[in-house]
Amino acid sequence: MNAQTETAQGAPLAFEAVDWATAVLSSSGIDDARTDAEILLRFAVGCDRARLYAAFREKLDASHWQHYQTVVQRRALREPVAYIIGLKEFMSLEFEVNRDVLIPRPETERLADFAIEFLQETVRAGSALSQTVMDIGTGSGCLAVTIAKRVPAATVYASDISEAALVVAERNAMQHGVADRVRFRCGNLYEVFVKDGLQRKVRLIVANPPYVSRAELQELQPEIRWFEPEIAYLGGDDGLLFHRKLVMGGSHFLADGGVMVLELGCGQAENVRQMVLSNGHYKLIEILTDPAGNERAIVARRGE
């Protein structure tokens, strides 16, 4: 189906529009073209999946068709769907996203699962230990907000060097009703928390630090390289610049027995494991793997 022809003849049926969009996106090298085409049509029309399927053989409104063509062309230029629709699901919660923040990934849910279970176990045990959490490089706030949402006893301190990212994170905290327990700070890594007096009082540190090396930059998908903020994924020459800083500084803030959980890039587990062990303040607990068996995060406990 040719978009210009259809525009001249009137808007197409919904399923015809999806077929057209699928062809356009496929020709642009997008693997999940059909899925993206349906998501974008739901966005353009303003309906859920069930309503879309129920109306698959109904003619689109002219304004919806025009909007749909616009967003499909944006996706054809490899702009991520999440930026186009302004939302991304993480841990069954919807988060606002834009080009100021990294798009939350399913892989990071493994880190979130561990963090939530770790805190909930402490609560179930009736421990009087403070449930103070740090989220370094919070971005959209997906980790900080999710942890606060799932663990009502937790108070989360979340930092980012980007003021624009924190604006997004703050809106997400408000949207999910946890703004009173997530305290955002603008600054680099741990430095911004010194004045909060959190030294040796933090139960859990989480971070999804930048871990792409300079050598890997050109291998990234256009969606990442052209649209997502480089500051959120470039981790120096070897991809481990921020892991070193996080491991080094974490021991000054973690309470005895406190835990640090850092997300990892592919093939980085052994290097970060050695980094943790050689620091002298941590006892390695484990390497977390995702459902595909990939080493996804490292868990280290501060010695007591």
**41: buried, middle or exposed (CB in 10 Å: 19+, 13-18, 0-12)?**
buried
Q: Is residue 290 a part of any domain in this protein?
A: yes
pLDDT of 10 reads 78
Confidence of residue 9 (pLDDT cuts 50, 70, 90): low
Mean pLDDT score, 226-240? 95
Number of domain units in the chain:
2
Q: Is residue 70 part of a domain?
A: yes
* Averaged pLDDT, 135-142: 98
What residues make up the domain containing 12? 3-77
How far is C-alpha 4 from the chain's CA centre? 37
- Within a domain: residue 82? no
Residues 56 and 128 in one domain: no
Q: How far is CA 31 from CA 22, 53, 71, 151, in A?
A: 10, 22, 17, 37
Q: Which of 32, 48, 77 is the last residue of a domain?
A: 77
What average pLDDT score do residues 139-143 get?
98
Q: Among 147, 122, 123, 121, which residue's Cα sits nearest to residue 133?
A: 147
For 101-133, how does the pLDDT look when each residue is reduced to its tens digit (9 = 90+)? 999 999 999 999 999 999 999 887 777 677 999
Q: Are 38 and 52 in contact (CB under 8 A)?
A: yes
Domain for residue 113, yes or no? Answer: yes
Answer yes or no: is pLDDT of 8 > 50.
Answer: no
Residue 58 located in a structural domain:
yes
Task: Tell me how crowded residue 26 is: count the other CB atoms within 10 A of its CB.
Answer: 16
- Any idea how long the chain is? 304
> What CATH number did the domain enclosing 198 receive?
3.40.50.150
| 72 and 195, same domain (yes or no) | no
Please indicate, yes or no, if residue 9 is contained in any of the structural domains.
Answer: yes
Q: Report percent pLDDT > 90 for the chain.
A: 87
Out of 77, 111, 140, a domain closes at: 77
